[in-house]
Amino acid sequence: MNQSFEVWSTLWLALVAANLPFVNHRWLGVGPQRAHKSLVWRLVEWLVLYVAVGVVAMAMEARIGQNAPQGWEFYAVTLSLFATLAFPGFVWRYLMRHRVPVARTAQSKG
């Protein structure tokens, strides 16, 4: 693998992970399905996935060469980027109207 592929794969992984809490009702996408997940639980899951993507990115960086030391500014920027990547999932979950299926009544069957 070349360095460009690893950078793009990390960005795609971050995009998927940032939206995962907003598009399903499972914990981290694999846990038991819940009827309703509150915004607080979605944000906790989102932060856990941010850390997981960061660990994967650091492992890829270590495989390429030596890890560069990072300050708080780096983590502030990556957290902001992760929040930006999560915007489509947040909009889909909380800002768009979802049609609720209407149960068929005896009058509509005929």
Domains of the chain by residue range: 3-93
pLDDT of residue 49: 93
Q: How far apart are CA 43 and CA 23, in angstroms?
A: 13
> Distance of CA 98 to CAs 16, 91, 92, Å?
21, 12, 9
In percent, the amount of the chain with pLDDT more than 90 equals 31
> Distance of CA 52 to CAs 48, 69, 94, Å?
6, 18, 24
pLDDT of residue 1: 62
Structure tokens at 66: 């030596």
Q: What residues in the chain have per-residue pLDDT under 70?
A: 1, 97-98, 100-110
